[in-house]
Structure 1
């Protein structure tokens, strides 16, 4: 099965009102903003969506809000992952995935499994899942790295494992995956700062955080990168470097929510144990945006 997830995907935030409830209007507006400005697909309830601090019912509510706003215009990918394999399989089997182009499933965190354990986890996920799967390697959060050998073993063994979102900020690992991947398997950047380099090296694109706030510029950069137009693409990359760094300087998604607040798309409320961006960071973000030609 060939990877269908190309170009710029966004890891969409879950906006909250100041009372902590989901801000339905803001979420719908962010979806519309991204559809209007070149985003290629939307990833729901990933790390940036604060998936670990929303309830099961809220996850269903987020899906319903985004689906209603999207109206079938962009492919949707749902985050379903965890470190309890049995529970991940149960969630996959208990979720109506008919409206989703695929799922994004994070490598098991906290437990620190061996590479064989990671393989067996995703084997179970693959066997249970009726839609394409994007593996998600993010060792900075999971405390274990899914090696290129394990990723490629899964890619070769299971037809519905179509891509990996690689977010180890490790250029050598990206290149090993791109060099040895089977035909049709996608390598997707999960690192906004490396996304252009990955695209130019033959990657399929990005699942981006900053992309949802500046979708026109970011999606154009990735499209140029995938077309091999390095000079034009790097002009945009250099323009985006400061804001890409700023949003990750404290925590994610506090940084991106501060940007979205400055753009009047949602407020900056996050759920504990996360806290909102500092006034110093917000000021830097406002200064950047006032000078950025969107």
Structure 2
């Protein structure tokens, strides 16, 4: 089975819960994993940027990977995030992290350095040659400060056998369409933008790696499945039910928004590691009002 088939649908970019001492809260992580699996997501992504990986120690990352494997017990595929702006260090990590049970590695493009397209190509080429699992590119220019162009994506897909997909979060619809038009047949293209998931799946994407699926796994994964089945009418109904929630998730910071939602739902404690802080009181109040309205709508 190709990676495109294995990772079709909704992947959830899992948060990393912390306790009052700002240590990894593995009990809450287990609760989160059970919650999203029960909600019907197709796969999990651990150690993505939603998981606050820039603030995690290497030993914590390894413990999170192993705990996730143990909790999931092969129920769904697990993708592990390993990315950054130090190519040599990423190669060391893909060679030494416990990846035997991973379906793939998700690797964000280099941030802050702002490499040229050739630099991005060489970065991913070397990582793909070292990686023991298929590599998924992650393009999110709003966070990294540089874009992986459609041309570079297609070049990597064609010239590097172990690069099998991309999480595209550029927000550039034209760029996404060029990738979809020119990708190799088995190259996975998944959305990294919850709000744009429906139109991008309608255009040919294979699904989405979602932040919102942490707190709305049932509704979100149903929306994606409807879209993949070309039932856009049903998909639109769920999209507009969740749309205001998407806005609140990202109004101040990710994952501050999703952690506030999850705390209100009683799934985790609302702790983040600096330099991230919880939502402002004003936005948190709007979030509580949205959840109340959503619950009333769901039970009506």
Shorter-normalised TM range? over 0.9
Of 123, 137, 161, the residue aligned with 1:121 is 123
CA RMSD of aligned residues (A): 1.1
Separation in 1 of the partners of 2:249 and 2:226? Answer: 23
Q: Which runs of 5+ in 2 are unaligned?
A: none
Separation in 1 of the partners of 2:204 and 2:226? Answer: 12
Of 285, 288, 291, the residue aligned with 1:289 is 291
**Residues 252-271 of structure 1 aligned to structure 2 (within 5 Å):** 252-271=254-273
Does the alignment pair 1:208 with 2:210?
yes
Separation in 2 of the partners of 1:7 and 1:191? Answer: 14
Tell me the TM-score normalized by structure 1: 0.98
Say which is worse superposed, 190-199 or 56-65, in terms of deviation.
56-65
Deviation at 1:42, TM superposition (A): 0.5
**Residues 148-187 of structure 1 aligned to structure 2 (within 5 Å):** 148-187=150-189
Moved over 4 A (4+): none
Tell me which residue corresponds to 2:72. 70
Tell me which residue corresponds to 2:229. 227
Deviation at 1:64, TM superposition (A): 2.4
Give yes or no for contact 2:166–2:188 (8 Å, CA) kept in 1.
yes
**Residues 242-261 of structure 1 aligned to structure 2 (within 5 Å):** 242-261=244-263
Deviation at 1:96, TM superposition (A): 2.4
Residue-by-residue CA offset, 1:62-89 (whole Å, 9 max, x unaligned):
1122222111111101111111111111
Say which is worse superposed, 6-15 or 17-26, in terms of deviation.
17-26
Tell me which residue corresponds to 1:9. 11
Separation in 1 of the partners of 2:249 and 2:98? Answer: 33
Separation in 2 of the partners of 1:34 and 1:193? Answer: 19
**Residues 43-192 of structure 1 aligned to structure 2 (within 5 Å):** 43-192=45-194
Give yes or no for contact 2:65–2:98 (8 Å, CA) kept in 1.
no
Separation in 1 of the partners of 2:253 and 2:228? Answer: 29
Of 22, 25, 29, the residue aligned with 2:24 is 22
Give yes or no for contact 2:260–2:279 (8 Å, CA) kept in 1.
yes
Separation in 2 of the partners of 1:248 and 1:72? Answer: 31
Deviation at 1:2, TM superposition (A): 4.6
Separation in 1 of the partners of 2:89 and 2:62? Answer: 17
Tell me the TM-score normalized by structure 2: 0.96
Separation in 2 of the partners of 1:212 and 1:254? Answer: 13
Does the alignment pair 1:274 with 2:276?
yes
SS at match of 2:136: strand
SS at match of 1:289: helix
**Residues 236-247 of structure 1 aligned to structure 2 (within 5 Å):** 236-247=238-249
Separation in 1 of the partners of 2:248 and 2:168? Answer: 21
Deviation at 1:159, TM superposition (A): 2.1
Residue-by-residue CA offset, 1:160-215 (whole Å, 9 max, x unaligned):
21110011111111111111111111110000110111111110000000111110
